Amino acid sequence: MRVLGIESSCDETGIAIYDDALGILSHQLYSQVKLHADYGGVVPELASRDHVRKTLPLIQAALAEAGCGPEQIDGIAYTAGPGLVGALLVGATVGRSLAMAWNKPAVAVHHMEGHLLAPMLEARVPAFPFIALLVSGGHTLLVQVDGIGRYQILGESIDDAAGEAFDKTAKLLGLDYPGGAALARLAEQGTPGRFIFPRPMTDRPGLDFSFSGLKTFAANTIRSEGHDEKTRADIAHAFQCAVVDTLAIKCKRALKQTGLKRLVIAGGVSANRQLREQLQTLMLELKGEVFYPRPEYCTDNGAMIAYAGLQRLKAGQTVGLAIQVQPRWSLESLPPV
């Protein structure tokens, strides 16, 4: 089976074609970073308009790269949520309309299921069951995964997600948007131990996350300690260590609570080098395994949507002619495959 995947949940337009026998045949991605940089964050209306401009040309490019036409596509998968409603509607409208025009089945994909299954695009894939840490700009989730569509949320962020906290703290440090990756680079120049930030919600039982207080702690430290380059790097280092330690502590709790030995990390923040290294160390300590996608499949992309959609299309889970999106959509509500 060969599936065209369309991702348009936020500020990246991703198109890919995935074949269950041959793997990824094409992968096209357009980022709107420059468009939103002047505003310091994503402007939903501008994001939607840019998806309108880019989606069809990228589909044409993906078909050309894969060397196939519509007749060789067996189904179309598009992100239907969660995300920005206008951006979601662009991808859903294009995807559902093409499916109707080409007489192909269509499937609406959950964005976070796409991230969760992104490690399946690699040569080394995790077997079920496993624990998934999903860390992106808008979500921080710990999920027990017993199979595709068999998800139990063990913990989630009650305020800012980890990626959101990274970006907001980067802005406080005067770094350009999007700031998460820039903060990580600055942190590499920092002195360990000069500042010690709290590890939020690790002094109590449970698997939920809270990063808004950590962001406030960083803001107060920046305000009181000055803005010279060395101090900014030391603050970035302390902040990153606090986030990474917090995520690792909660992962260890989830693994011990469930008795599982496999951990998946996915989402934009999973590309963070320090997070990967710390979780690798944790899994060696626990005599387990950690899995993650390559960096280009950590951020939003069409390949993960095509893969997730293919699994559901093979199970006969298609959508009708109505174009529907869900800006809020629980992973636990998805049907099993």
Annotated binding site for Fe cation: 111, 115, 300
How far, rounded to the nearest angstrom, does the alpha carbon of residue 305 sit from its chain's CA centroid?
11
Contact 286, 255 (CB under 8 A): yes
Report how far residue 336's alpha carbon sits from residue 267's, in angstroms, rounded to the nearest whole number.
Answer: 22
The DSSP code for 126 is: P
Report how far residue 186's alpha carbon sits from residue 241's, in angstroms, rounded to the nearest whole number.
Answer: 12
Amino acid in the structure at residue 190: G
> In what order do the strands lie in the sheet containing 12-19?
23-31, 12-19, 2-7, 75-81, 106-110
Report how far residue 313's alpha carbon sits from residue 307's, in angstroms, rounded to the nearest whole number.
Answer: 10
Residue list for the binding site: 111, 115, 134-138, 167, 180, 272, 300
Q: Is 337 helix (H, G, I), strand (E, B) or coil?
A: coil
Q: Return the CA Rg of the chain.
A: 20
Residue list for the binding site for substrate: 134-138, 167, 180, 272
Contact 6, 302 (CB under 8 A): yes
